[in-house]
Amino acid sequence: MARIVTHEHTELSTVELLVVFFIIAVVAMIVLTALNPKDRQADARDAQRIVDMNALLTAVHSYVVDTDGELPKGVVVGTVQQIGTCTSNGSTFCEGASEVCVDISDSIAPYLDLVPTDPLLKNDPGKSGYSIAVTEHGVVTITACGAETSSLQVSR
């Protein structure tokens, strides 16, 4: 007796293989969407900005307390100033800030070794990426000008 071989089994295996690949592709897309590395990196940079802003705010307040209410040299009440050593274009990164940056590094040196720099400005000397504003009532606000996931500022 001769045995007849059909190709139905081979075709079914190919279809099964395509279904498996499709399922793997769908699962991979779901995982990549959930993990989205670019969003996680932006979240990490914003977390660093929050740490930096709180460190700056604490240093400024420590200076104010130790000097009986004096603000760090160059800080002007009622204006938004980018923190740094730039002599112009301070407003290009910190929208609404004055053109000339305010260098508070000497004033806050006893409380903070270095003025923090925004994670995206590591290669842009003179600009910290943070701004300072002081109200008439003495409320100090530090803002992260390059925040990526939401507006970031701290006040005291």
Whole-prediction pTM value? Answer: 0.79
- Pairing, β 80-84 against β 127-134: antiparallel
**What are the residue boundaries of the structural domains of the chain, listed by start?**
39-155
- The CA–CA distances, whole Å, from 37 to 1, 9, 41, 96, 152 equal 62, 42, 6, 31, 21
- Collapse the DSSP code of 128 into the 3-class scheme (helix H, G, I; strand E, B; otherwise coil) and give the result: strand
pLDDT (tens digit per residue) in 33-71? 777 888 889 999 999 999 999 999 999 999 999 999 999
pLDDT (tens digit per residue) in 83-108? 999 888 777 788 889 888 999 999 99
Per-residue pLDDT band for 82 (boundaries 50, 70, 90) equals very high
Contact 26/86 with Cβ under 8 angstroms? no
pLDDT (tens digit per residue) in 125-136? 788 999 999 999
